[in-house]
Amino acid sequence: MTGTMRAVVKTAYAPGNIELRTIPIPQPGPREILVRVKAAAVCGTDVHIRHWNTWAQARMNPPVVIGHEFSGEVVEVGSDVHTVQVGDRVSSESHISCNNCQICHEGNRHVCPNTKCIGVHQDGCFAEYIVIPEEIAFVYNDPSLPWEQLALMEPLGVSVHGITDVPLAAKAVAIIGAGPLGQMGILTARLTGAAQIIVLEPNAKRAALAKQLGADAVIDPIAEDPVVAVKALTGGYGPHVAVDFSGSKAGMAAAMQYLRPEGQLTCVALPDQSISVSISDFGYRGCSIRGIAGRRMFENWEEMRGLLRRGLDLSPIVTHVLPLEEFEQGLNMTEQGKCGKCILIP
């Protein structure tokens, strides 16, 4: 396919410098596919790119089309593509691993040191079309799944990775932060059999949604002592698992105190500052800390298929749908926490 398209481009090495431009439609290589983007979700990473934080500075080489969470229809395939067809409805992994290093060979492609990311290292999905490798495309041809929800598969995979790292069947879990990833975490914890779901969230609107999604209890960690409150809800022992989706230094520090012996703190979000940990106390109780990076490739994607078959409904998480031209509003609402997931429609 030839011609031009509209795309949101990070144009220069500085804060801001994000523009809607007209650029050529990308052409797929032999093992790549061309996708007409139907819906693209705004992520906090896109906000970081706009502000040009140290993470973005270390990885990007503008001009680059931003965005990495999307769904779309395949309109063209390369000569060596065999598993994806024109007309398929797809979502996509955002990480492209090398598949050649020792880490990949050990089955840990999600932490491959040579990983490239769409919307960061190469052109992303805030555009009318995107080219991706065949291997990171996931076909979901069920027409009952709306494009807006299909665009959330990538972030859902992060949440599924964090929630399922420890089997939650018949266990108590504390979910720290009820933003979009935390909301997905509540839904996943319910479907995977958690006996008790305790959510810590100071934002009143997000707290109310957490209850709607199935949280057994919601605690405002500013209004009351989270350590006392969580232990009171768990017979004085604390939850088996705490999953942090907030990146809050205070939230993680409290979790280290209220986890029950042999419990695990799973860190999905990362704080900007270091956290002081009493290893003697934490270690004496046999507790552990686990970091979560992206999605397990491609195990979490297959688990998501199962969750969808079990009735996972992400519609309450999609709170705003905007045309691509209003990307600035989407970035602003995401940064300010005034939305669940904001979807851009090219």
Domain ranges of the chain: 4-152+314-345, 158-291
pLDDT of residue 286: 95
pTM: 0.95
pLDDT of residue 137: 98
Contact of 97 with 112, CB cutoff 8 Å: yes
3-state secondary structure of 109: helix
Q: What is the pLDDT of residue 209?
A: 94
Pick the CATH number of 158-291 from 3.30.460.10, 3.50.50.60, 3.40.50.720, 1.10.260.40: 3.40.50.720
Catalytic residues: 45, 48
- Identical fold for domains 4-152+314-345 and 158-291, yes or no, is no
DSSP count for the chain of H helices, then E strands: 12, 18
pLDDT of residue 274: 79
pLDDT at 225: 98
Predicted pLDDT of residue 106: 97
State how far the Cα of 51 lies from the Cα of 176, in Å rounded to an integer. Answer: 25
Q: What is the CATH number of domain 4-152+314-345?
A: 3.90.180.10
Q: In the numeric block, which tokens belong to residue 271?
A: 């704080």
Tell me the residue type at 173. V
Helix (H/G/I), strand (E/B), else coil: 85: coil
With contact defined as beta carbons under 8 Å apart, do 151 and 182 qualify? no
Max distance between CA atoms of the chain, in angstroms, equals 64
C-alpha distance from residue 189 to each of 28, 111, 255, 268 (Å): 38, 24, 18, 15
Averages of pLDDT over runs of 10 residues in the chain (346 residues) are 96 97 98 98 96 94 98 98 97 97 97 97 98 97 94 98 96 97 97 97 94 97 98 98 95 95 95 78 90 95 95 95 98 93 97
Count of beta carbons in the 10 Å neighbourhood of residue 245: 30
